[in-house]
Amino acid sequence: MAATARLGVDVGGTFTDLVLHDPRRDLVHTGKLLTTPEDPAAAIIEGTERILREAGLTPADLHSIVHGTTLVTNTIIERTGAKVGLLATAGFRDSLEIGREIRYDLYDLFLEPPPTLVPRHLRREIPERLSFEGELLLPLGEAAVAREARDLVEREGVEALAVAFLHSYRDARHERRAGEIIRALYPALPLTLSAEVAPEIREYERTSTACANAYVMPRMRRYLERLETELARIGFDGRLYVMLSGGGIAAVREAKQFPIRLVESGPAAGAMAAAFLARLAGLDRVVSYDMGGTTAKMCLVEDGAPDHKFDFEAGRVRRFVKGSGLPLKVSVVDMIEIGAGGGSIARVEPGSGLMKVGPRSAGAVPGPVCYGRGGTEPCVTDADLVLGRLDPDYFLGGEMALDPDRVRRAFESGIAAHLGLGVTDAALGVQRIVDETMAAATRMHLAEKGRDPRRYTLVAFGGAGPAHAWNLARLLKIRRVVVPLGAGVASALGFLVAPPATDMVRSHVGRLERLDWGAVNALFAGMAAEGRQLLEEAGADPAAIALRPTADMRHVGQGFEVPVALPGIVLSAMNLPAIRDAFFASYRTRFGRTVEDVPIEALTWRLACTAPGQDIRLGAEDAADAAPLAPRARRSVTFEGHGVRDCPVYDRYALRPGMEFDGPALVEERESTCVIGPDTRVTVDAHRNLVLDLA
């Protein structure tokens, strides 16, 4: 009998989350364990073996594993990637440092620029030149390619190479030929061609993306190969898939060739889970709120799908300042990510005497003080414990005991002593700062999109999300919060419900009335063929693959584009009126007005290739046979503005559809605790979501 079980694995900064689903057995099982930062694969293997054992299955019962990782972004942030060499068009090797010639802070006289991944002595110039229309101006210097490649590999010891020639997005013949020469010399050398990883206009961004891909490729290949070996060792012979930054599922081959497409792999899964939960609950306007151990991520989900964008900055010098990082041309779920997690460290600034929380995190090692693993600085989780939000004997379902006395001593000797506060007031201060930080970030993210948070529902998950969701909603004036069953591992659920998907892109610049539609159609035909191949490798049914074409357009003379939906992948001049109308509609949404008499030009053509994801049935239990609603315990919880309140503690697994109760209350499950403040009505819906309606 064929294997049917699927496993989603999310490796976070503090915890590794797992969700197992087997439709044949109508089984959904969850797991959570501490991440092993020195070897992320170790926690994956341990967690996989344990969750299978608990579910009564074996590795042979697994059809597939879908995995997301922060390895790519961590490699760039920590600068632990490969030694990379770059071959560039003669005269353009310094484009990486020239960048956009824009200062991200006009008034900082000691501005620190984003450090390049390839130092100048490893950037080599190659004689060659194509015009922006693809016309040959100077033939490729093939001898120079071989000479510089040999020098970089044999004398400088580079571990990977990137090739980025001028205008290769328009015609990649010189890059392809350079790749052939390099591969003939060094078949095993990791090599990235900019026209393959980011075939888009804008020289600096394309070169930066190619260098970043080469930078992370050796480490990502080693990691995936080790993971495949270890999974085979325990008896897994199914398919291993990965989550792309855009929220789609891809085969390992794509991850090895274009690892930069995984730069936001883990966070994207949370957004896909929120989109799935929103569709189940019939919600068309949702703010996805994922608070884990290291960061909090907020994303807008409308009409059942998260927002997307096609550029991203990694490794920022100043984490929240645009322009201070490395620009990447990759498809990502559009979200805001801030250093506010359960492990975010609270401290008093020496100069100002003010308390700050995050972005520095205790992570999994040593972790918050309450873990008893060597942490000495109080974190958000420690404050939650002091305020009564967490049960020290039921953390991770009792698997991990917390130490409240150690936490109190840490507060007394640190923050509380510096500020002249009691331990409870100091913990309330930590909670207020982290919640206000998340609220401010969410307001900014929605304001940039012209959205009002009061019109949205907050879908909260992550290990720490349900503990802070009620107060965050109160600060944002959001009236409804939805907390799913298994909220603490919902990101891992996102891996199982996300569709096989990939985004293809090609640049071809021209005014609409002068476009060569034959060339545009040829671009779409090539993208469709490549996209279908990638999705079939990711397990998609060829007959179910859907193609959604768009184009980035602007008025002639403008510097930035708006996305425009297209009527099909075979276009002609007859489609011009519909395309113009779509452009004006998108332009009006972005800018609130249109300009009718200025020519329009298209720059980049995109094709979103998707196949249906798998649904997971949640909340199947019938409430008729459920025991009456009753708390299993009571606990004192401190709420800001409400003082200490005696709260009933409900078992999450005993709650059935249709049950209702009022806050203040706590709802505990193995991986998270939902904190419900006063003046709130809670209903358990048909999918066993907790629906919190705030007064």
Instruction: Give residue-wise pLDDT tens across range 190-199.
Output: 999 999 999 9
Q: Which two tokens stand for residue 486?
A: 């298994």
DSSP structure class, residue 500: B
Q: Torsion over CA of 49, 50, 55 and 57, rounded to 10 degrees?
A: 20
Least confident of 133-137, 337-341, 510-514, 691-695: 337-341
The predicted model scores a pTM of 0.86
Using the predicted structure, report yes or no on whether residue 13 has a pLDDT greater than 80: no
Using the predicted structure, report yes or no on whether residue 660 has a pLDDT greater than 60: yes
**308 vs 605, residue with greater confidence:** 605
Angle between helices 423-448 and 465-476 in degrees, nearest 10: 60
Looking at the chain, the number of H-run helices and the number of E-run strands are: 17, 35
Angle between helices 404-413 and 423-448 in degrees, nearest 10: 90
Distance of alpha carbon 383 from alpha carbon 12, whole angstroms: 21
Helix (H) or strand (E) holding 196: helix 194-197
pLDDT-based confidence at residue 41 (cuts at 50, 70, 90) = confident
pLDDT-based confidence at residue 319 (cuts at 50, 70, 90) = low
pLDDT of residue 104: 85
Distance of alpha carbon 110 from alpha carbon 356, whole angstroms: 24
**Side chain identity, residue 211:** C
Q: Which two tokens stand for residue 672?
A: 């998270």
Angle between helices 142-150 and 173-185 in degrees, nearest 10: 40
**Side chain identity, residue 587:** Y
Mean pLDDT (whole number) for 175-182: 97
Distance of alpha carbon 69 from alpha carbon 86, whole angstroms: 27
The domain over range 5-75+222-262 is classified in CATH as 3.90.1150.10: no
Whether the ω angle into residue 366 lies within 30 degrees of 0, i.e. cis, is: yes
Using the predicted structure, report yes or no on whether residue 588 has a pLDDT greater than 60: yes
Mean pLDDT (whole number) for 33-51: 88
The domain over range 268-301+328-499+621-630+657-695 is classified in CATH as 3.30.420: yes
Mean pLDDT (whole number) for 263-267: 85
Distance of alpha carbon 478 from alpha carbon 487, whole angstroms: 19
Helix (H) or strand (E) holding 315: none
Half-sphere exposure of 603 (CA within 13 A, CB side): 16
pLDDT of residue 585: 92
* Burial environment of residue 96 by CB neighbours within 10 A (0 to 12, 13 to 18, 19 or more): buried
pLDDT of residue 150: 97
| Per-residue pLDDT tens over the stretch 358-376 | 888 887 788 899 999 888 9
Report whether 270 contacts 290 (CB < 8 A). Answer: yes
Least confident of 10-24, 456-470, 534-548, 572-586: 10-24
Q: What is the mean pLDDT of the chain?
A: 90
**Side chain identity, residue 655:** L
Mean pLDDT (whole number) for 606-616: 86
Mean pLDDT (whole number) for 262-272: 88
pLDDT of residue 69: 85
Report whether 594 contacts 584 (CB < 8 A). Answer: yes
Distance of alpha carbon 364 from alpha carbon 361, whole angstroms: 9
- CA 253 and chain centroid, separation: 20
pLDDT of residue 589: 83
Residue 218's nearest CA partner among 138, 162, 296 is 162
Residue 490's nearest CA partner among 216, 201, 291, 261 is 291
Three-class secondary structure of residue 482 per DSSP: strand
